[in-house]
Amino acid sequence: LDEAVAILRRAATEAEGPYRRLLEEYATGVATGLSAIAGVLDPELVVLSGGVFLAGGEPLRALVEAELAELSASQPPLVLGDIREHPVLRGALECALATTRDEVFDTSR
């Protein structure tokens, strides 16, 4: 895994070469998936997280954003996530807790 992270970091800093092409291909794939999701859900913000985005950082985010601009009319802001461990699970938990708080402490009833 450390070798893969090193390759991605190198790709993110190179202007061309095989590792850079790998990063561009990955960005195209992510943008293709995001274009379908953004077209249906029209999110206000997309948080990119996980090991690949941690390794690719801002250069990878910018590549995905550029690809998404070519593929989709809906272009939500893309940001890198700061949460490193189980970001989807943590987000779902935060959402569930907020909903529960709203239900328990609802004073309009």
CATH of the domain at 41: 3.30.420.40
In a domain, 104, yes or no: no
**pLDDT single digits (tens) 75-92:** 999 999 888 788 788 889
Q: Report whether 35 contacts 71 (CB < 8 A).
A: yes
pTM: 0.75
pLDDT of residue 85: 80
Check residue 57 and give left, alpha or beta (phi > 0: left; psi -120 to 50: alpha). Answer: left
> How does residue 109 score in pLDDT terms, banded at 50, 70 and 90?
low
pLDDT of residue 37: 92
In a domain, 108, yes or no: no
**pLDDT single digits (tens) 45-59:** 999 988 888 888 899
In a domain, 18, yes or no: yes
**pLDDT reading at 2 higher than 90:** no
- Exposed (0-12), middle (13-18) or buried (19+): which is 36, by Cβ within 10 Å? exposed
Give 70-96 as a DSSP string: HH-S----EEE----S-HHHHHHHHHH
Total domain count, the chain: 1
Please give the residue range of the domain that contains residue 31.
2-83
Of residues 17 and 67, more confidence is placed in: 67
3-state secondary structure of 46: strand
Angle ∠(27,32,37) on CA atoms, nearest 5: 120
In a domain, 16, yes or no: yes
In a domain, 43, yes or no: yes
In a domain, 97, yes or no: no
In a domain, 61, yes or no: yes
pLDDT of residue 11: 75
